[in-house]
Each structure stands twice: as C-alpha cells, then as structure tokens.
Amino acid sequence: MYELVFWIYQEGVYLNHHLVYEALADEELVEGLEEIPTSVILNRINALFSKWERVDENSWKNSNGPGAFHVRSTSQSIKIDCYGTQGSDMDVLVGALEEFKCPLYDPQVPERYDGVE
C-alpha cells in the first residue's frame, strides 16, 4: 500500500508535517488547518476515474489493469490508500487535489510538496 495525504494550512500557519500527518491519521482536529470540500473532491476523483469500477462510495478498482485505491476523509484532510496503483494514476490523484490547492504529503518519504521550504 502507498499513502497519499492532503491538507491545507491556514494562511501564515506552518506546522511539523509529520505531526500533522499523525494527528490526522488519528482523526484529530488540527488547529491551523483549513476545512476542505471533501464531497466536491470525491466527485472530482470519481469523474477522473469514471472508467474504473467504483467498488463503494470511497473505493475504486481498475478493471482494465493493476491498481485500486480507497479515499478516507476528515473535514481537514484527504488520505488515499493506493494498492498496486501505477505512478501515472497516482499523479492524476495528486493533480486532482492540486486543483483544490491541497498539496501532497508523502509519508513514505516523508515530504510535503507545497513549494515552501
């Protein structure tokens, strides 16, 4: 499994990414994060992956090749668990969240790709 995690900091707020990730994994509310439009984002993901089989409300499976993913959300975050998902498909997911100004945090690296050092 490969995790992709997304959240938005409030303006002027910059926290320890890994601590934010751990708090969000425990479904805690994190002071300093924006609320995100999770249902709108899920609809966007569904549109981008319309050729994939929608297994349930939050899961998709590639019927024509490798890969599946499951989306978990809180009011402040989106976490996508990818199972055998190809890099190009993960790039589509990352791009979808970038449309909502939600940069990727990759806990495997760990690095947040928000252009801020």
Which pLDDT score is estimated for 117?
Answer: 56
Q: Are 60 and 49 in contact (CB under 8 A)?
A: yes
Contacts with 117 (C-beta within 8 Å, 6 or more apart), sequence order: none
**pLDDT value at residue 115:** 79
Tokens for 13?
Answer: 């707020």
Global pTM value? 0.95
Question: How do the pLDDT tens digits run along the chain, 117 residues long?
Answer: 999 999 999 999 999 999 999 999 999 999 999 999 999 999 999 999 999 999 999 999 999 999 999 999 999 999 999 999 999 999 999 999 999 999 999 999 999 998 765
Indicate the residue type of 113: Y
Sort strands 78-83 and 111-113 into parallel, antiparallel or unpaired: unpaired
Q: Which residues have a Cβ under 8 Å from the Cβ of 10 and sit 6 or more positions away?
A: 32, 33, 34
